Structure 1
Amino acid sequence: MTGNTLLTLASIGAAGIACQWLAWFTRLPAILFLLIIGIVMGPVSGYIDPDALFGDLLFPFISLSVAIILFEGSMTLKFSELRGLARVVRNLITVGAAVTWVISALAAYYLLDFSVGLAALFGAIVIVTGPTVIVPMLRSVRPNAKIANVLRWEGIAIDPLGALLAVLVYNYILSGQGADAFGSVMLTFLKTVGIGTVVGMLSAMATAFVLRHHLVPEYLRNMFVLALVIGAFSVSDLLQHESGLLAVTVMGMALANTRNLDIEDILNFKETLSLLLISALFIILAARVELHQFAVIGWPALGVLAVIMFIARPLGVALSAWGSDLNWRERSLIAWIGPRGIVAAAVAAVFALRLEEVGYDGAAFIIPLTFTVIIGTVIIQSATAAPLAKLLKVAEPEPRGFLIVGAGNVARVIGKALQERDFKIMLSDSNWENVRSARMEGLPVYYGNPISDHADRHMDLVGIGRLLAMSGRANFDALAIMRFRREFEPNHLYQLLTSREQRVDDKHNIADKHRGQPLFGEDVTHAMLASWIRAGAELRTTSLTDSFDFDAYLDEYRDRCIPLFAVDEKNVLHVFTSADTVEPESGWDIMGLIAPKDAGLSYSPKRPEEAAEEEKPLAETLPAIDDQ
């Protein structure tokens, strides 16, 4: 290892974040870049030697990290998502796992001449998929809800079971594979499942009790839960070796399905921590790989990969989904998506080292074979899953639509204009008169509070990716923005200001961090738009040309136009805001609110070249009365 320890650790962290950013930029799973950089920093350049860097703490660090990652993933599993799919998921983590185990073991036995014990151990390791690769792939593929729920549940639930199966096979190998070994393995299995489940449930109950009764201050909630997770994992593992992963998975699932328990902030914290741990783990594990081992296992390793992808996975899914309401298209995509992730890599590294220590021949080759499966499944399926989902017509539509909070006159006028441009919209309001008016105008509307539990279960957000908060109530709009921050990208959250927010000082206004981008600019308010519409203003679409550019458009309508949206030649909609000045080009369409010449209304929108200048005060002739 070159350089000092501190610099090496900092390099791992920096490389991990760079890989995550590159994955976001290219819309590919981060594991690809993490494995590449790990191999480059490890066996290629020799910069990182994980065994020398961490010493005896390496595998305890790996185990704890995997435990935290599994806990975070299990906290997203809601039983309500499994309606009609519970049997499929149960079969996938039992029947499907058994099929994959047997076929993968046979492939390793016949194609690579692995011993029976070593082949069985490899088969157990590769039955896992894992949230670290499934979730990013689902984000890019965007399959329908049934497929996404099945794959996510399978990926999280099967990880501890796969690790448990690997433990049982490992113990069977060490026990001599005799008649007594089977009884010993079954006893180990029962103890592991029992202790892991009990410790997980008790930990969840203790956590829920403390959080419900506010026995820890708000600023300590995240660290308190993290300490309990580590404690549950450690205690369970102490009572029964390798039961800790099951304990934290049970703990997370129990908390996720506990009623009236707010864990949103804890989940946010754990997601950030898991991202950091995943980045570090993949680099560290990849840095331990010895490249010459890949040359030794050679081409037969690709044969094993092919058997897993084209025989084991499709057969396992076919048997698991038999008799379910999944159609053949949905089953086909589930059968194709089965990438391996961090748990497979970590378990392979741990048991290969343990078998090497007891002198088991060929144990070291489990690592390169497992990494071949990880890299192969991730690369091939990442490149093909999205096109396959579109071909099978099981992909959700592009999230180009808008959720509009409020169904008053302003929201309906804007919603109708967007709908006419073929953008999907969904209005939401608790005012029945507004809802009735929206329905009479042919606008889809959810009658109720958009931040209610009922909305979470019933409001259709398929194909919707942006939020326009324009209820005319500043506090409610800000609350909606905060609620949907996890659903939409931060730059896709917009909020129409109210006239009151312009009149009061900062101590009465909502903090910027809790609000969306000012919709149509900081000079435009809900009351202003309502006044213009009542005075006869119309929302018109105007096409720009080389001879009639945006400046000419503003000159044409002078002070009686409020630009709202711009639609480019690819039908991508751009929102006019003060934070993101739009510079329309020839061929674009401008959607603006145009007032009649004799209405006496006046508004002077800033031109693109004026965006950096200090904003001028709004000239408004009609009284500002919120449209409620």
Structure 2
Amino acid sequence: MNEHALIALAGIGLLGVACQWLAWRAKLPAILFLLIAGILAGPVTGWLNPDRLFGDLLFPLVSLAVAVILFEGSLTLKLDEIRGLERVVRNLVSFGMLISGTISAAAAHWLFGFDWPLAALFGAMMTVTGPTVIVPMLRTVRPNAAVAKALRWEGIVIDPLGALLAVLVFEFIISSQAGDALGHAALVFALILGTGIALGVATGHLLGLLLRNYLIPEYLHNVVTLGLVFAVFAGANAVASESGLLAVTVMGMWLTNMKRVPVEAILDFKESLSMFFISGLFIILAARLHPGEMALMGWGALGVLAVMQLIARPLKVALATVGSTLSWRERVLLGWIGPRGIIAAAISALFALRLQEHGYAEAKLLVPLTFLVIIGTVVLQSLTARPLARLLGVAEPEPRGVLIVGANPVARAIGRALFKQGFPVILADSSWEHVSAARMDGLSTYHGNPVSEHADRRLDLVGIGHLFGLSPQRDLNVLAARYYRREFGDRGVFTLTASLEDDQRESKHGVAAEFHGRPLFGKGVSYRKLAERLRQGAEIRATTLSEQFDYAAWCAANAERAIALFAIDPRGKLRIFTADAEIKPGVGAVLLALVSPEAKPPAA
């Protein structure tokens, strides 16, 4: 038994990683592959039985994992980012939530046949969207900043509020059997709201003070934060049942909006932990589905899905965005995207079990109906949201552009060459002289430190997918590489290497190689070498490779006097020459290289 449990736990982890990788390759939300994996592992093959594997610990473990997911999501909710959209988000998570919940409940009653109490509970659970599906979908759809911020804020804030609404409906159903249901529900609401906000604010402020005043060593930041998240969640639930989700959400929002509190490392750790938890939770909860219950789903369930997608969500957004600055195109896309995620799956499983214990036999259909809505909304919106965003003209362009650290002569020469080939470039430099020269060349610039708080708020990275550290200040390049790695990924961050003469000094006085970006243009191609060649008259030239003059022929003709910089394949993709990977451009590719002038023959 112990060996089977160990294999099952390891298998869940491997399945989750495999599904995330497949989602990355297919450019689809990972939830699709996670649900398929869970259904195959559970109902289809019978290999995974979560109830037998975890026993009474199943729902406590699910609850703790959901708490970490919500806390991580709330750490991204900076108030500065939502300026101008405050009213839209407030409307979406208040009366907008009630509108969608009421319509969903009516559809569950009239089309699926639920009694009104169960229909009301289903409608409350369907008010949540959730960061577990919104954030991955935003990476794929890439809507403009206004739509993306509204969806992210709505998804994170509405999760605890939707769970709170579901708790109130559940308490109303249970207490109605004994009378005084309305008074009991009002008392529960006040207790949950007060407990969640009070504990969340107090703990978030305490942790912020400890971090700000360096009272916790850096290597304990993540451990202490995780322990406090668990403690606040459990403590809030002990005081007022189901208030833990609200408490951890408020805690994260309070912490991230405090001044001078370093939360970046905590956010990185929690993001990785959340992805692991999300993967495991979807597989585990999908594995709990029973084939017999799924067989009971009929056309009525599809009707519920259609009403939620085509009526409830668009009507909610239409009313919530009246008088806002959002264009009608942005409102249409916002009204189409509203997938359900892990919170709906978790609370449906929990309340279905409790209602069955109180004699509600139909409650067993809550879980399969919820999963049908989750799968339906995710599949439909994943396949259609990106084309719709493009059709409406509210999608961000493909991230083909380059943020260049530095506006010096080397950076300007490379920026001009890329811009001439149709790639957006932004040159960031603190030197006004360099920035002015770049602007004279017609290049987009940012005057200031690219890793400053001002740049974090004002530097527009729409369409930007790479970072080039081209500053003569190598420490600034390394700092920028570390700062923007989370934005562009490890494969999108590049810095110049040290010159061959500086290698020995670099090993003793320089920053460790693991903190650099990928080495640009080859080993020993330093800023000094590029600048010297430009001063000697070298130019960046574009050469289109052909069958008669391929890459090998180009190398033979330019062996000593050229440095290959970039290759643009026939599809327009930018490929960067680096010291850690070999590139062999094919026929039709455009090769950009820094070519020195030919040496003149000696005078007679």
Task: Flag whether TM exceeds 0.5 (same fold).
Answer: yes
Partner AA of 2:320 in structure 1: S
Q: Look up the match of 1:223.
A: 223
Q: Distance in 2 between matches of 1:376 and 1:348?
A: 16
Deviation at 1:523, TM superposition (A): 2.2
SS at the partner of 1:322? Answer: coil
Deviation at 1:558, TM superposition (A): 3.7
Q: Look up the match of 2:209.
A: 209
Deviation at 1:509, TM superposition (A): 2.3
Contact 2:540–2:593 (CA under 8 A) maintained in structure 1: yes
Contact 1:473–1:498 (CA under 8 A) maintained in structure 2: no
Q: Look up the match of 1:584.
A: 585
Q: Look up the match of 2:425.
A: 425
Deviation at 1:501, TM superposition (A): 3.5
SS at the partner of 1:365? Answer: helix
Deviation at 1:2, TM superposition (A): 11
Deviation at 1:177, TM superposition (A): 6.5
Q: Look up the match of 1:326.
A: 326
Q: Look up the match of 2:548.
A: 547
State which drifts further: 217-226 or 335-344.
Answer: 217-226
Q: Deviations over 1:320-374 (max 9, x none)?
A: 0011011110000010000000000000000000001111130100111100100
SS at the partner of 1:484? Answer: helix
- After the TM superposition, which residues 411-450 of structure 1 pair with which residues of structure 2 at under 5 Å, given as runs? 411-450=411-450
Q: Distance in 1 between matches of 2:225 and 2:460?
A: 33
Q: Deviations over 1:509-550 (max 9, x none)?
A: 221111011111112111111111111111111111111111
Q: Deviations over 1:171-228 (max 9, x none)?
A: 1111116872111101110111011000000110111121122222211110100000
1:550/1:212 CA distance change after superposition, 3 Å: same
1:71 corresponds to 2:74: no
Unaligned runs of 5+ in 2: none
RMSD: 1.4
Q: Look up the match of 2:513.
A: 512
Q: Distance in 1 between matches of 2:312 and 2:177?
A: 25
Q: Look up the match of 1:142.
A: 142
SS at the partner of 1:466? Answer: strand
Q: Distance in 1 between matches of 2:490 and 2:229?
A: 30
Q: Look up the match of 1:129.
A: 129
Q: Distance in 2 between matches of 1:50 and 1:277?
A: 15
1:573 corresponds to 2:574: yes
- After the TM superposition, which residues 378-527 of structure 1 pair with which residues of structure 2 at under 5 Å, given as runs? 378-499=378-499, 501-527=502-528
- After the TM superposition, which residues 164-179 of structure 1 pair with which residues of structure 2 at under 5 Å, given as runs? 164-176=164-176
Deviation at 1:502, TM superposition (A): 2.9
Q: Look up the match of 1:4.
A: 4
Contact 2:545–2:588 (CA under 8 A) maintained in structure 1: yes
Q: Distance in 2 between matches of 1:362 and 1:36?
A: 25
Q: Look up the match of 1:536.
A: 537
Q: Look up the match of 1:360.
A: 360
Q: Look up the match of 1:285.
A: 285
Contact 1:92–1:316 (CA under 8 A) maintained in structure 2: yes
1:505/1:176 CA distance change after superposition, 3 Å: closer
Q: Deviations over 1:382-427 (max 9, x none)?
A: 0000000000000001000000000111110110011011100000
Q: Deviations over 1:458-486 (max 9, x none)?
A: 11211110011011111111111011011
Q: Look up the match of 1:617.
A: none
Q: Look up the match of 1:608.
A: none
Partner AA of 2:583 in structure 1: V
SS at the partner of 2:593? Answer: strand
Count of paired positions: 600
SS at the partner of 2:548? Answer: coil
Contact 2:129–2:338 (CA under 8 A) maintained in structure 1: yes
Deviation at 1:295, TM superposition (A): 1.8
State which drifts further: 117-126 or 29-38.
Answer: 29-38
Unaligned runs of 5+ in 1: 601-628
- After the TM superposition, which residues 42-191 of structure 1 pair with which residues of structure 2 at under 5 Å, given as runs? 42-176=42-176, 180-191=180-191
Contact 2:237–2:243 (CA under 8 A) maintained in structure 1: yes
1:158/1:599 CA distance change after superposition, 3 Å: farther
- The alignment's TM-score, normalised by the length of structure 2, stands at 0.97
Moved over 6 A (4+): none
SS at the partner of 1:260? Answer: coil
- The alignment's TM-score, normalised by the length of structure 1, stands at 0.94
Q: Deviations over 1:216-245 (max 9, x none)?
A: 221111010000000001111000000000
Q: Deviations over 1:81-116 (max 9, x none)?
A: 111101000100111111111111001111122111
Partner AA of 1:586 in structure 2: V
SS at the partner of 1:487? Answer: helix
Q: Deviations over 1:124-181 (max 9, x none)?
A: 0111000000000000000000000000000000000111111110111111168721
Contact 2:428–2:445 (CA under 8 A) maintained in structure 1: yes
Contact 1:567–1:574 (CA under 8 A) maintained in structure 2: yes
Q: Distance in 2 between matches of 1:554 and 1:270?
A: 47
Q: Distance in 2 between matches of 1:432 and 1:222?
A: 40
Contact 1:143–1:395 (CA under 8 A) maintained in structure 2: yes
State which drifts further: 11-20 or 334-343.
Answer: 11-20
1:217/1:486 CA distance change after superposition, 3 Å: same
1:538/1:449 CA distance change after superposition, 3 Å: same
1:286/1:558 CA distance change after superposition, 3 Å: closer
Q: Distance in 2 between matches of 1:192 and 1:579?
A: 55
Q: Distance in 2 between matches of 1:427 and 1:356?
A: 62
SS at the partner of 2:436? Answer: helix
SS at the partner of 1:574? Answer: strand
Q: Deviations over 1:25-82 (max 9, x none)?
A: 1111111111111111111111111111111111111111111110000000011111
Q: Distance in 1 between matches of 2:508 and 2:26?
A: 42
1:505/1:454 CA distance change after superposition, 3 Å: closer
The share of aligned pairs that are identical, in percent, is: 54
Q: Distance in 2 between matches of 1:168 and 1:154?
A: 20
SS at the partner of 1:221? Answer: helix
Contact 1:535–1:599 (CA under 8 A) maintained in structure 2: no
SS at the partner of 1:307? Answer: helix
Q: Look up the match of 1:234.
A: 234
Partner AA of 2:569 in structure 1: D
Contact 2:485–2:492 (CA under 8 A) maintained in structure 1: no
1:134/1:407 CA distance change after superposition, 3 Å: same
Q: Distance in 1 between matches of 2:48 and 2:561?
A: 65
Q: Distance in 2 between matches of 1:557 and 1:235?
A: 70
Q: Distance in 2 between matches of 1:588 and 1:31?
A: 37
Contact 1:95–1:319 (CA under 8 A) maintained in structure 2: no
Q: Look up the match of 2:244.
A: 244
Contact 2:168–2:185 (CA under 8 A) maintained in structure 1: yes
Q: Distance in 1 between matches of 2:2 and 2:111?
A: 39
1:162/1:565 CA distance change after superposition, 3 Å: same
Contact 2:542–2:593 (CA under 8 A) maintained in structure 1: yes
SS at the partner of 2:442? Answer: coil
Deviation at 1:497, TM superposition (A): 2.4
Partner AA of 2:100 in structure 1: T
State which drifts further: 427-436 or 373-382.
Answer: 427-436
Q: Distance in 1 between matches of 2:476 and 2:198?
A: 43
Q: Distance in 1 between matches of 2:426 and 2:442?
A: 11
Q: Distance in 2 between matches of 1:251 and 1:161?
A: 15
1:119/1:2 CA distance change after superposition, 3 Å: farther
